[in-house]
Amino acid sequence: GNSVTQMEGPVTLSEEAFLTINCTYTATGYPSLFWYVQYPGEGLQLLLKATKADDKGSNKGFEATYRKETTSFHLEKGSVQVSDSAVYFCALSEAGGTSYGKLTFGQGTILTVHP
Protein backbone atom coordinates (compact mmCIF):
# COMPACT_ATOMS: atom_id res chain seq x y z
CA GLY A 1 0.00 0.00 0.00
CA ASN A 2 0.90 3.68 -0.11
CA SER A 3 2.74 5.39 2.71
CA VAL A 4 4.28 8.76 3.54
CA THR A 5 7.10 9.30 6.01
CA GLN A 6 7.99 12.74 7.37
CA MET A 7 10.93 13.79 9.45
CA GLU A 8 10.37 13.63 13.19
CA GLY A 9 9.46 16.86 14.90
CA PRO A 10 9.06 19.20 16.52
CA VAL A 11 11.27 21.62 14.63
CA THR A 12 12.23 24.85 16.37
CA LEU A 13 13.89 27.66 14.41
CA SER A 14 14.75 31.30 14.81
CA GLU A 15 13.15 33.83 12.50
CA GLU A 16 14.91 34.10 9.11
CA ALA A 17 16.44 30.62 9.42
CA PHE A 18 16.35 28.11 6.56
CA LEU A 19 13.72 25.38 6.79
CA THR A 20 13.75 21.84 5.43
CA ILE A 21 11.14 19.23 6.29
CA ASN A 22 11.88 15.86 4.72
CA CYS A 23 9.18 13.73 3.14
CA THR A 24 9.54 10.40 1.39
CA TYR A 25 6.83 8.19 -0.01
CA THR A 26 6.03 4.75 -1.34
CA ALA A 27 3.31 4.31 -3.92
CA THR A 28 2.25 1.68 -6.40
CA GLY A 29 1.48 4.12 -9.20
CA TYR A 30 2.31 7.71 -10.12
CA PRO A 31 0.95 9.85 -7.32
CA SER A 32 0.35 13.54 -7.00
CA LEU A 33 2.14 15.01 -3.98
CA PHE A 34 0.94 17.71 -1.61
CA TRP A 35 2.02 19.76 1.37
CA TYR A 36 -0.77 20.88 3.68
CA VAL A 37 -0.43 23.33 6.58
CA GLN A 38 -2.54 23.40 9.73
CA TYR A 39 -2.49 26.54 11.87
CA PRO A 40 -3.52 26.21 15.52
CA GLY A 41 -7.21 25.48 15.91
CA GLU A 42 -7.88 25.37 12.17
CA GLY A 43 -8.41 22.83 9.41
CA LEU A 44 -5.83 21.85 6.83
CA GLN A 45 -5.01 24.19 3.96
CA LEU A 46 -3.22 23.25 0.78
CA LEU A 47 0.23 24.84 0.75
CA LEU A 48 1.57 23.50 -2.56
CA LYS A 49 1.39 20.52 -4.85
CA ALA A 50 3.18 18.72 -7.70
CA THR A 51 1.57 16.26 -10.05
CA LYS A 52 4.48 14.69 -11.94
CA ALA A 53 8.18 13.98 -11.63
CA ASP A 54 10.48 17.03 -11.54
CA ASP A 55 7.56 19.42 -10.99
CA LYS A 56 8.27 22.12 -8.42
CA GLY A 57 5.39 23.37 -6.31
CA SER A 58 5.71 26.77 -4.67
CA ASN A 59 3.63 29.11 -2.56
CA LYS A 60 4.27 31.83 0.06
CA GLY A 61 8.05 31.31 -0.22
CA PHE A 62 7.79 27.54 0.32
CA GLU A 63 9.01 25.13 -2.35
CA ALA A 64 9.08 21.37 -2.90
CA THR A 65 10.30 19.34 -5.88
CA TYR A 66 8.83 15.97 -6.89
CA ARG A 67 11.83 13.62 -7.06
CA LYS A 68 10.78 10.27 -8.49
CA GLU A 69 14.26 8.78 -8.35
CA THR A 70 14.49 9.31 -4.58
CA THR A 71 10.71 9.14 -3.95
CA SER A 72 10.93 12.41 -2.05
CA PHE A 73 9.09 15.73 -1.79
CA HIS A 74 11.04 17.80 0.75
CA LEU A 75 9.61 21.14 1.84
CA GLU A 76 11.96 24.15 1.97
CA LYS A 77 11.80 27.83 2.80
CA GLY A 78 14.73 30.19 2.70
CA SER A 79 13.70 32.48 5.55
CA VAL A 80 10.96 31.48 7.98
CA GLN A 81 8.75 33.89 9.89
CA VAL A 82 6.98 33.58 13.23
CA SER A 83 3.72 33.35 11.27
CA ASP A 84 4.94 30.09 9.67
CA SER A 85 4.57 28.30 13.01
CA ALA A 86 2.13 25.47 12.26
CA VAL A 87 1.90 21.73 11.62
CA TYR A 88 2.95 20.63 8.14
CA PHE A 89 1.65 17.47 6.49
CA CYS A 90 3.02 15.73 3.44
CA ALA A 91 0.45 13.69 1.49
CA LEU A 92 -0.02 11.77 -1.70
CA SER A 93 -2.96 10.92 -3.92
CA GLU A 94 -3.15 8.51 -6.78
CA ALA A 95 -5.34 9.28 -9.75
CA GLY A 96 -7.56 6.78 -11.48
CA GLY A 97 -8.68 3.27 -10.62
CA THR A 98 -10.33 2.93 -7.25
CA SER A 99 -8.21 5.52 -5.46
CA TYR A 100 -11.07 8.06 -5.56
CA GLY A 101 -8.75 10.87 -4.61
CA LYS A 102 -7.99 9.42 -1.20
CA LEU A 103 -5.05 11.08 0.51
CA THR A 104 -2.34 9.22 2.40
CA PHE A 105 -0.83 11.53 5.03
CA GLY A 106 2.45 11.63 6.85
CA GLN A 107 2.31 12.05 10.60
CA GLY A 108 2.86 15.80 10.49
CA THR A 109 5.77 17.98 11.60
CA ILE A 110 5.29 20.72 14.17
CA LEU A 111 7.23 23.87 13.31
CA THR A 112 7.80 26.61 15.89
CA VAL A 113 9.55 29.81 14.84
CA HIS A 114 10.87 32.16 17.54
CA PRO A 115 11.49 35.90 17.03
Q: Which residues bind other proteins (CB under 8 A)?
A: 30-32, 34, 36, 42-46, 49, 51-52, 89, 92-96, 99-103, 105-108
**Residue 84 burial by Cβ neighbours in a 10 Å radius (0-12, 13-18, 19+):** buried
Our CB check for other proteins shows the closer of 16 and 52 to be: 52
Q: Provide the minimum distance between the beta carbon of 56 and other proteins in the complex, in angstroms, as a whole number.
A: 15
Our CB check for other proteins shows the closer of 82 and 95 to be: 95
φ, ψ dihedrals at 84, nearest 5°: -85, -5
Q: Provide the minimum distance between the beta carbon of 43 and other proteins in the complex, in angstroms, as a whole number.
A: 4
Our CB check for other proteins shows the closer of 70 and 98 to be: 98
- For residue 41, the SS3 value is coil
Q: Provide the minimum distance between the beta carbon of 97 and other proteins in the complex, in angstroms, as a whole number.
A: 10
Q: Provide the minimum distance between the beta carbon of 96 and other proteins in the complex, in angstroms, as a whole number.
A: 6
Our CB check for other proteins shows the closer of 44 and 111 to be: 44
- d(C-alpha 62, C-alpha 97), whole Å: 31
